[in-house]
Amino acid sequence: DLPDVGICQDMANFRASTDIQMEHEDQLKLNVFARKTTFLTELKEDLASKKKEAQNLQDAETNLEIQCLDDDSPVPFHIGESFIHVDGERAQQMISQQKEEVEKQVHNLEAQIEKLQTTLGELKRQLYAKLGTAINLEADE
């Protein structure tokens, strides 16, 4: 992974505008910070996708409950690239299993994000303590 362009620009500004000596260890920390920040963004995107998937499964479960009350006909169930027809009870079980798996993935992503944010906070604290306002580690949103 390449360092964030904003952080590279901060490095150039840092060298040009300060008399503080940047050590190799500081550069490594900045590189780690950039990589972890990029990874955090990817995790947040994955989390948003999984939450949407969980909501879609919840909606499907609700719709299936309503449909099963109306009739006993088989319902199409999407697996991979195709659909199979299963009875309503089996479809509910399959949706429930998928929903549990997605909820586990959401929980795992949230835990990873929390851990990564803690790590980034510590790196940010260390870098600001050493380099002060000569660098900007805040996300451009």
CA 10 – CA 81 distance, rounded (Å) = 47
State phi, psi for 47 to the nearest 5 degrees. Answer: -60, -45
77 residue type, one letter: F
40-67 confidence digits (pLDDT tens) = 999 999 999 999 999 999 998 888 887 7
Is residue 124 very low, low, confident or very high in pLDDT (cuts 50, 70, 90)?
A: very high
Q: What is the DSSP letter of 132?
A: G
DSSP strand E in the chain: where?
A: 75-79, 82-86
What's residue 63's pLDDT? 85
CA 65 – CA 36 distance, rounded (Å) = 43
What's residue 8's pLDDT? 52
What's residue 100's pLDDT? 97
DSSP strand E in 2-136: where?
A: 75-79, 82-86
What's residue 69's pLDDT? 60
Give the residue-averaged pLDDT of 88-100.
91
21-42 confidence digits (pLDDT tens) = 778 998 999 999 999 999 999 9
